[in-house]
Amino acid sequence: MALIVQKFGGTSVGSIERIEQVAEKVQKFRENGDDIVVVVSAMSGETNRLIGLAKQISEQPVPRELDVMVSTGEQVTIALLAMALIKRGVPAVSYTGNQVRILTDSSFTKARILQIDDQRLRADLKAGRVVVVAGFQGVDEHGNITTLGRGGSDTTGVALAAALKADECQIYTDVDGVYTTDPRVVPKAQRLDKITFEEMLEMASLGSKVLQIRSVEFAGKYNVPLRVLHSFQEGPGTLITTDEEESMEQPIISGIAFNRDEAKLTIRGVPDNPGVAFKILGPISAANIEVDMIVQNIAHDNTTDFTFTVHRNDYLSAMRVLENTAREIGAREVIGDTDIAKVSIVGVGMRSHAGVASRMFEALAKEGINIQMISTSEIKVSVVIEEKYLELAVRALHTAFELDAPARQGE
Ligand code: ADP
Ligand code: ASP
Ligand code: MG
């Protein structure tokens, strides 16, 4: 008998019919003798709807109040699923994050889980009940409701699996696993049987939203066996593993991630003295703005141009800070660009292969796509390009690195 944590995402609980289907699925696992803890998201679109309501009151809603409101989405689905299970004769009970006591810090809208009390859950499991827990939410030490950031139900699932030492955490969603890239953008993307934690972490942090980054971090740290599966189609899904197979067939890159969430800022004609980078980025970090990619170019006239990217939500604040800095240090001008996208190739196979970056640049050059910034690490290469070429770039790279699925007959 196994203990399994099963997380169902928004589309999988997006209607009463779907919730009934999830209940049927959970019932089958119960009948097999497994102990089940289910984590659910809000019905698809609900979290966005709630945020939309808040924005009608204020462009920047008070984070504490926003969390009180957006956490209601999951409270509806846990109750509905528990009802659907009980209707089928499966004993079940639903809990909010507060009721379980999923203790988090007090960073409203992006809280981190600190501790989970497993007593109540264990008692229910022992009594033969399926426990249905609200994803995405917790409670801080003062009793305030917190939420874990968008996509945070994945993290609730993995954290519960870690706390309960579950045999597996299954993330059920609307695709049948992790693909070489988003299958909605590249129809020729292929499902991966396995991907390493390290690669999945890079893919998630570089923009593949199939798993929330923190859920992968958590699973890696606590060694939680994690699998991504389709909610309503049978199949093996994708296992996230620590295994790094050294087989001949190991692909050089495992996947391509991309995001449209960043914006680029450039400060030009900065007098080139020691400490320039600190003078520019110090005030940005003091304003609590995270910087991602950075490039510095030396010009002929003893000045330098300095470019970096930030999240698009931080673009306007970063611009204001940078304009101040430019005045203080006597820079020539500040320019910004929000029409950019970042495309990254990811794979542990890069460690043992030279020339991966140049193959990437060649594929982009063939399509006439200009690279604006580059950054590399041991297992990834990222480039910033003009946003309008994003899909073309992803498809070209998918083909260049031989990730395309073989054409089916008749295609
Ligand atoms: P859920 O509501 O179940 O949490 P999400 O929308 O958060 O579902 O995540 C699933 C979606 O992630 C898929 O529909 C797919 O479009 C997207 N996605 C992005 N990159 C990938 C990838 N590499 N593999 C699979 N899905 C991906
Ligand atoms: N409902 C939340 C969101 O839409 C959490 C989740 O779905 O994981 O972000
Ligand atoms: Mg999700």
Q: Which whole number is the average pLDDT over 333-349?
A: 96
Is 7 among the annotated ligand-binding positions? yes
What is the chain's mean pLDDT, rounded?
Answer: 95
Residue 303 inside a domain? The answer is: no
Q: Where in the sequence is the domain holding 62, given as residue range(s)?
A: 3-174
**pLDDT at residue number 174:** 96
pLDDT tens for residues 34-79?
A: 999 999 999 999 999 999 999 999 988 999 999 999 999 999 999 9
Confidence category of residue 1, pLDDT binned at 50, 70, 90: confident
**pLDDT at residue number 409:** 59
**pLDDT at residue number 243:** 74
Confidence category of residue 408, pLDDT binned at 50, 70, 90: low
* Interval between CA 211 and ligand 1 midpoint (Å): 7
Q: Name the phi and psi angles at 206, rounded to 5.
A: -95, 5
Instruction: Supply 205's token pair.
Output: 């942090």
**Residue nearest atom 6 in ligand 1 by C-alpha distance:** 210
What percent of the chain lies above the pLDDT cut of 90? 90
Q: Which whole number is the average pLDDT over 151-165?
A: 98
Confidence category of residue 95, pLDDT binned at 50, 70, 90: very high
Is 49 among the annotated ligand-binding positions? no
Looking from the CA of 153 toward its CB, the CA atoms found within 13 Å total 34
Which ligand is closest to the CA of 191, given by its number? 1
Q: Which of 261, 375, 263, 385 is nearest to 319 (CA)?
A: 263
Q: Which whole number is the average pLDDT over 396-403?
A: 96
Cross-strand bridge partners of residue 196? 241
* Residue 295: other Cβ atoms inside 10 A: 16
Is the Cα dihedral 368, 341, 177, 255 positive or negative? positive
Q: Which whole number is the average pLDDT over 302-311?
A: 94
**pLDDT at residue number 249:** 59
Burial class (CB in 10 A: 0-12, 13-18, 19+), 16: exposed
Looking at the predicted structure, is the pLDDT value of residue 169 above 80? Answer: yes
Q: How many domains does the chain have?
A: 1
* Interval between CA 356 and ligand 3 midpoint (Å): 30
Which ligand is closest to the CA of 204, given by its number? 1
Question: What is the rounded CA–CA span in Å between residue 121 and residue 341?
Answer: 43
Question: What is the rounded CA–CA span in Å between residue 216 and residue 255?
Answer: 16
Question: What is the rounded CA–CA span in Å between residue 5 and residue 258?
Answer: 29
How does 272-281 read in b/e, with b if 16+ C-beta sit within 10 Å? eeeebeebbb
Which ligand is closest to the CA of 148, given by its number? 2
pLDDT tens for residues 228-257?
A: 999 999 999 999 988 766 554 567 899 999
Which of the listed residues 38, 39, 150 should we mutate to test ligand 2's pocket, taking the one with most ligand atoms within 8 A of CB?
Answer: 150
Residue 320 inside a domain? The answer is: no
pLDDT tens for residues 374-384?
A: 999 999 999 99
**pLDDT at residue number 302:** 87
Residue 229 inside a domain? The answer is: no
Residue 318 inside a domain? The answer is: no
**Residue nearest atom 6 in ligand 2 by C-alpha distance:** 151
Q: Which whole number is the average pLDDT over 339-368?
A: 94
**pLDDT at residue number 10:** 98
Q: Which whole number is the average pLDDT over 95-107?
A: 97
Is 95 among the annotated ligand-binding positions? no
What percent of the chain lies above the pLDDT cut of 70? 97
Residue 236 inside a domain? The answer is: no
Confidence category of residue 410, pLDDT binned at 50, 70, 90: low
Which of the listed residues 47, 69, 78 should we mutate to test ligand 2's pocket, taking the one with most ligand atoms within 8 A of CB?
Answer: 47
Is 10 among the annotated ligand-binding positions? yes
Which ligand is closest to the CA of 199, given by its number? 1
Is 8 among the annotated ligand-binding positions? yes
Is 179 among the annotated ligand-binding positions? yes
Question: What is the rounded CA–CA span in Å between residue 260 and residue 342?
Answer: 7
* Interval between CA 71 and ligand 2 midpoint (Å): 9
**pLDDT at residue number 193:** 95
Ligand 1 pocket list (CB less than 6 A): 9-12, 41, 151, 173-175, 178-179, 181-184, 208-210, 255
Residue 152 inside a domain? The answer is: yes
The CATH number given to whatever domain includes residue 167 is: 3.40.1160.10
**pLDDT at residue number 245:** 67
